[in-house]
A and B are shown apart, each in its own frame.
Chain A
Amino acid sequence: GAVVSQHPSRVICKSGTSVKIECRSLDFQATTMFWYRQFPKKSLMLMATSNEGSKATYEQGVEKDKFLINHASLTLSTLTVTSAHPEDSSFYICSARDGGRTETQYFGPGTRLLVL
Chain B
Amino acid sequence: GENVEQHPSTLSVQEGDSAVIKCTYSDSASNYFPWYKQELGKRPQLIIDIRSNVGEKKDQRIAVTLNKTAKHFSLHITETQPEDSAVYFCAASNGSSASKIIFGSGTRLSIRP
Contacts and interface: CB of A to CB of B under 8 A. Distances in A.
Interface of A: 1, 31-32, 34, 41-44, 46, 49, 51, 93, 95, 97, 99, 102-110
Given A43-B104, A43-B106, A107 B44 contact: yes
B112 interface: no
A106 B46 contact: yes
Given A93-B43, A106-B46, A49 B105 contact: no
Interface string B7-38: 00000000000000000000000001010100
- Among all A-B residue pairs, the 7 with the closest Cβ atoms: A107-B43, A103-B32, A102-B97, A103-B95, A43-B105, A109-B43, A44-B103
Contacts of A103: 32, 34, 49, 51, 93, 95, 99
Given A44-B89, A93-B44, A104 B98 contact: no
Contacts of B100: 34, 46, 49
A109 B40 CA distance: 11
Given A34-B101, A43-B89, A102-B96, A1 B44 contact: no
Interface of B: 32, 34, 36, 41-46, 49, 51, 89, 93, 95-106, 108
A83 to B, nearest CB: 27
Contact of A44 (B42, B44, B93, B95): B44
B43 to A, nearest CB: 4
Nearest to A106: B46
Contacts of A41: 108
Given A43-B89, A103-B49, A32 B44 contact: no
B103 A31 contact: no
9 contacts: A1-B46, A41-B108, A43-B105, A44-B44, A51-B98, A103-B51, A106-B46, A107-B43, A110-B42
